[in-house]
A and B are shown apart, each in its own frame.
Chain A
Amino acid sequence: MSQAAFSQSAFTQQLKKYYTFYTGGFLAFIVLLAIAEQMGLPRKYIGYTFLVATIGLYAMIGVMSRTVEVSEYYVAGRRVPAFFNGMATGADWMSAASFIGMAGTLYLAGFDGLAFVMGWTGGYVLVALFLAPYLRKFGQFTIPDFLGARYGGNIVRSIGVFAAILCSFVYVVAQIYGVGIITARFTGLEFAVGVFVGLGGILVCSFLGGMRAVTWTQVAQYIILIIAYMTPVVWLGIKHTGIPVPQVAYGQVLAKVTDLEKKLTADSKEQEVRKIFKDRADAATAALKDPAKSHADGKAKLEQNVASLKAANAPADQISAAEKALAGYAKDVDAAKAQWNKDKAGAARAAPPRPHATPYPGKDEAAQHTAKLNFLGIVFCMMFGTAALPHILMRYYTTPSVREARRSVFWSLFFIFLLYFTAPCLAVLAKFEVYSTLVGSQFSALPAWAASWQAVDATLLSITDINKDGIVQLAEIVIGGDLIVLMTPEIAGLPYVVSGLVAAGGLAAALSTADGLLLTIANALSHDVYYKMIDPSASTSRRVTVSKVLLLVVALIAAYTASTKPGSILFLVGAAFSLAASSFFPALVLGVFWKRANKAGAIAGMLVGLGVCFYYMTTTYPYLRDLFGVTKPIAEYMWFGLNPISAGVFGLPLGMLTIVVVSLLTAAPSKEVQELVEHVRYPNIKGSSFSTTTN
């Protein structure tokens, strides 16, 4: 990270030395903490030590990488070797949702959750084949830069800036939210405090050094997060499969899980619990038809019961039990309605366990077909969204050459692959553990991990003895998706220090993604809006200063938004992918592969893509329907039964078609633009009138 002008290979060698030393140091740190734990260091301090040590480390790298040079600030000096850019992209890409949430989604959804695993890896094929090498050759600073140069004028650039900020902002709020949750859980700080502690962690990485600092901290964060993810899984894998590569050997465990599912579906005690849920839901549905009358009837019945017991001179304990039931009855109709709605939702728990390995389960052929279409729809949107999210594409501006950019996409996917091909395995191992040791255990003697997590947070794990037989049935367990990764160290029988490590990994994942996104937003505003549109004569130091100030402002707004705990955040993250796919992908790819694409086509195509996507979401997603006052039933708006998250399935092709049609109806782009297209197609072409890298 020294400023001296090294040759590229000496620079790479030095980086390897630094990061090998760093990895060794981090492992030694874990071992030391493990020894301290054996000697009696309390758990709370292990959590604090991890938090302070890792954020301190990122801050150190951030401060060491401070810079005021434009090319260092925006694209890390364009000398990040493929291997390290791959790691940085991996950390940039894998968010808190991937690290903590992915295995949980797979646990809960079984096969159908794999749509995300496939989508978030397969998208890199599109990045490699259609975008990364060409953007690198173009060699500017942001994605709207390319759109502005290729299609000319500020309108296309502005639409690009708007779309980049829309996708990135939604996403960054979710990351800061994740940081708040992790910090709060492992240190006992309040959520809002956790958000701002996390914000500090994010800013120390990016504020002083821009892309340069973000790149080198992201590499450090990747190393921590992958060690944190792999350690418990490998351990658990050895326990269940006998070899340390459970990703290829968990087939036998999956077979056992499938057997257990059949057994649990047929089990009479399980059926008893499921019937209780169904009866409750049915009663609630009936009561909700006329809530006021049902509430009055229910109350009258209890009052009558008390009166008749008293009249019959029943034993005192019977009378007091009846009085207690009356006192506990819903105070008014609204409270009763809330309870009935809850009971009604409990109908989901009346269903037998979902077969984990079966694709598209459904009650009939039509339901299975819709499930299949939705699976493929999500895969489609996640893939094309991946290939259009500006914070990822921006990373390929930072390599020294087109050749390195191509290699770099390979390393990016390789490092992402390591985590994503482990998650499905972890989900199955965890499921086996729950089905075989938790189900069937006595309520008085739950496995240690279950007892402790239930006490920590009821939204992660709650077990209630519904049929009062003192034994845990599967239908009596409610698991929050985040539990799977968090509990793994304990079910693998590892010391608490590994739990601290997992939290540090989750934090690294959330911080690194938030950094990349914030930088994208600040750069879009400072470079594309301020420098390119408002004040093209601004000095370089002024541009960097403006960028730093904007970064701070955007970070504060995002943190404030996150601290209000917006409810529909998960949907919005999915929506960001559909929106990015519909707006950016057609204009970027046709810009390289079709010389005839012109300005009018690009403007129309991007607007149509965004518009169609947005229209489909507002008519089919409940929250947005309320916001825009859509009243006709959802079914009338649904196309092919696809969920709103997959709106990009319609937005992308229509956007692409629009670019083609409108471009053909209007004049071909100028000769200069056509030459730009030729310029980006060849890594090095003699006689080109464009310079390769302009700073």
Chain B
Amino acid sequence: MELSEKHQEYWRKNLVVTAILMTIWFLATFVEGWYARDLNNISFMGFPLGFYMSAQGSLAIYVLVIGFYAWYMNKLDIEYGVDEGDDK
């Protein structure tokens, strides 16, 4: 089957949002981890920031990233006519 222009645009948009969210994931995980000692000099709600990010902050970011992806893609499906219709 040949993919229409619209289908290819849908896939490109998917790749873009995936790349952006992966960047956020990378920052919250590896960049945060690499600089954790330095971040600990900053105080956040009474916590050393590096510790709080690794213990709670990054985890919350992951939840938000996945929530955003689900919301965005489900919207994109409808916009590009590749959604599955109502649940049976």
Q: Is the CB of B29 within 8 A of A118?
A: yes
Contacts of B63 in A (CB 8 A): 410, 413-414, 417
Q: Is the CB of A684 within 8 A of B69?
A: no
Q: Is the CB of B46 within 8 A of A118?
A: no
Contacts of A403 in B (CB 8 A): 74, 77, 83-84
Given contacts A114-B54, A117-B55, A118-B54, contact A251 B66 (CB under 8 A): no
- A253 CB to nearest B CB, Å: 9
Q: Is the CB of A128 within 8 A of B69?
A: yes
Residue from A133, A251, A406, A685 within 8 A of B47 (CB atoms)? A251
Q: Is the CB of B87 within 8 A of A9?
A: yes
Q: Is the CB of A254 within 8 A of B82?
A: no
Contacts of B51 in A (CB 8 A): 111, 114, 254, 357, 359
Closest chain B residue to A361, Cβ basis:
B37
Q: Is the CB of A118 within 8 A of B83?
A: no
Given contacts A360-B36, A417-B59, A684-B85, contact A129 B18 (CB under 8 A): yes
- A113 CB to nearest B CB, Å: 10
Question: What are 10 residue pairs bridging A and B, where the CB atoms are less than 8 Å apart in the complex?
Answer: A122-B58, A252-B46, A358-B37, A359-B40, A379-B33, A424-B55, A682-B11, A683-B83, A684-B85, A688-B1
Q: Is the CB of A247 within 8 A of B56?
A: yes
Residue from B22, B60, B65 within 8 A of A421 (CB atoms)? B60
- A693 CB to nearest B CB, Å: 11
- B70 CB to nearest A CB, Å: 4
Contacts of B56 in A (CB 8 A): 247-248, 421, 424-425
Q: How many A-B residue pairs have CB under 8 A?
A: 152
Q: Is the CB of B59 within 8 A of A118?
A: yes
Instruction: Pick from A130, A404, A410, A414 the residue with the most CB of B within 10 Å.
Output: A410
Contacts of B14 in A (CB 8 A): 681
**Chain B: how many interface residues by the 8 Å CB criterion?**
47
**Chain A: how many interface residues by the 8 Å CB criterion?**
59
Residue from A400, A675, A678 within 8 A of B88 (CB atoms)? A400
- A309 CB to nearest B CB, Å: 58
> In the complex, A582 Cα to B53 Cα: how many Å?
28
- B31 CB to nearest A CB, Å: 10
Residue from B48, B52, B59, B82 within 8 A of A121 (CB atoms)? B59
Contacts of A681 in B (CB 8 A): 11, 14
Q: Is the CB of A684 within 8 A of B82?
A: yes
Q: A114-B51, A410-B67, A413-B63 are in contact. List 5 more A-B contacts (CB 8 A).
A: A8-B87, A118-B33, A122-B28, A130-B18, A421-B59
Q: Is the CB of B34 within 8 A of A376?
A: yes
> In the complex, A403 Cα to B69 Cα: how many Å?
11
> In the complex, A420 Cα to B66 Cα: how many Å?
17
> In the complex, A683 Cα to B50 Cα: how many Å?
40
Chain A positions within 8 Å of B, measured between CB atoms, are 7-9, 111, 114, 117-118, 121-122, 124-125, 128-130, 133, 247-249, 251-252, 254-255, 357-360, 368, 372, 375-376, 379-380, 383, 400-404, 406-407, 409-410, 413-414, 417, 420-421, 424-425, 675, 678, 681-685, 687-689
> In the complex, A251 Cα to B56 Cα: how many Å?
12
Closest chain A residue to B68, Cβ basis:
A410
Closest chain B residue to A407, Cβ basis:
B70
Instruction: Pick from B29, B47, B55, B85 the residue with the most CB of A within 10 Å.
Output: B55
Q: Is the CB of A121 within 8 A of B62?
A: yes
Closest chain B residue to A7, Cβ basis:
B88
Q: Is the CB of A117 within 8 A of B70?
A: no
> In the complex, A8 Cα to B22 Cα: how many Å?
33
> In the complex, A128 Cα to B36 Cα: how many Å?
26
Given contacts A125-B65, A417-B59, contact A357 B18 (CB under 8 A): no
Closest chain B residue to A9, Cβ basis:
B87
Residue from B45, B77, B83 within 8 A of A248 (CB atoms)? B45
Residue from B29, B47, B54, B70 within 8 A of A128 (CB atoms)? B70
Instruction: Give B2-22 as 1s and 0s: 1 = Cβ < 8 Å from A's Cβ atoms.
Output: 010001001100100010011
- B13 CB to nearest A CB, Å: 12
Given contacts A420-B59, A684-B85, contact A372 B11 (CB under 8 A): no
- B54 CB to nearest A CB, Å: 4
Would you list the 5 A-B pairs with minimal beta carbon distance, nearest first? A251-B46, A424-B55, A406-B70, A359-B36, A8-B87
Residue from B1, B30, B66 within 8 A of A125 (CB atoms)? B66
Closest chain A residue to B50, Cβ basis:
A359
Closest chain A residue to B88, Cβ basis:
A8
Q: Is the CB of A129 within 8 A of B29?
A: no
- A177 CB to nearest B CB, Å: 28
Residue from A9, A129, A379, A682 within 8 A of B7 (CB atoms)? A682
- A135 CB to nearest B CB, Å: 15
Contacts of B3 in A (CB 8 A): 678
Contacts of A129 in B (CB 8 A): 18, 21-22, 69
Contacts of B87 in A (CB 8 A): 7-9, 400-401, 404
Contacts of A251 in B (CB 8 A): 45-47, 52
> In the complex, A360 Cα to B33 Cα: how many Å?
10
Residue from B1, B30, B85 within 8 A of A687 (CB atoms)? B1
Q: Is the CB of A383 within 8 A of B18?
A: no
Q: Is the CB of B59 within 8 A of A675?
A: no
Contacts of A683 in B (CB 8 A): 77, 82-84
Contacts of A248 in B (CB 8 A): 45, 56
Given contacts A9-B87, A122-B29, A682-B7, contact A358 B40 (CB under 8 A): yes
Q: Is the CB of A379 within 8 A of B30?
A: yes
Contacts of B88 in A (CB 8 A): 7-8, 400
